[in-house]
């Protein structure tokens, strides 16, 4: 088994498992080894290119399958709950936050907040954008699932959004 596994933890930082998880190493820098790493993404064009979100410290990237990491962005003012590469555009990256959604057109160096239909309040606090997916067959269609706020869709690369409603029988 020659594949690499990368795990993000809450309070235990980032871990890389080599040879299919036979040997593990905690990443000791540049991010704090006790950090919260809530989201990971693998570039669909290059499996060695990875992104990881670190609470209060932004987004880090690796170009060697997780051995070395560097900070890529100033997006540090809120937790990032999901990351997604656009499979149609190598420079387009999405970051689902608490609350909201951001997009980058420079590989994750800078982000712009998107004007979405995602609510900024919910019965249990602040909604978290837990998943972002770009349709593999239609580069204009993006889906964002939001804790306690359902599913949202854009059909124009994030310029406008519509709520598709709750996922399940109730908001919880």
Confidence of residue 43 (pLDDT cuts 50, 70, 90): very high
- Write the pLDDT tens digit of every residue in 122-137: 777 788 889 999 999 9
Q: How far apart are CA 110 and CA 108, in angstroms?
A: 6
Residue 93 in any domain: the answer is: yes
Q: Count of domains in the chain?
A: 1
Bridge partners (DSSP) of residue 98 are: none
Instruction: Please check whether residue 1 lies inside any domain of the structure.
Output: no
The pTM (predicted TM-score) of the whole model is 0.90
List pLDDT tens digits, range 11-33. Answer: 999 999 988 889 999 998 899 99
- Better pLDDT: 104 or 73: 104
Return the exposure string of 115-152: e unless at least 16 CB atoms fall within 10 Å of the residue's CB, then b: ebbbbeebeeebbbbebbebeeeeeeebebbbbbbbeb
Domain membership flag for residue 7: no
User: Does the residue 20 lie in any domain?
Assistant: no
| % of the chain beyond a pLDDT of 90 | 65
Residue 13 lies in a domain: no
Domain that holds residue 90: 37-165
Closest CA to 59 of 9, 98, 94, 17: 94
């Amino acid at each position: 088994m020659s594949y690499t596994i990368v795990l993000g933890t809450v309070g235990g930082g980032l871990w890389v498992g080599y040879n299919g998880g036979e040997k593990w190493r905690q990443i000791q820098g540049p991010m704090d080894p006790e950090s919260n790493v809530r989201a990971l993404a693998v570039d669909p064009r290059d499996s060695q290119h990875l992104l990881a979100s670190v609470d209060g410290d932004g987004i880090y990237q690796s170009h060697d399958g997780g051995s070395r990491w560097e900070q890529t962005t100033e997006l540090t003012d809120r937790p990032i709950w999901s990351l997604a590469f656009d499979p149609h555009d190598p420079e387009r990256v999405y970051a689902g936050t608490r609350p909201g959604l951001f997009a980058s057109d420079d590989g994750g160096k800078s982000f712009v907040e998107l004007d979405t239909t995602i609510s900024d309040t919910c019965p249990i606090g602040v909604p978290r954008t837990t998943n972002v997916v770009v349709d593999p067959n239609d580069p204009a269609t993006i889906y964002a699932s939001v804790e306690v706020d359902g599913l949202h869709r854009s059909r124009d690369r994030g310029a406008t959004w519509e709520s598709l409603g709750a996922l399940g029988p109730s908001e919880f």
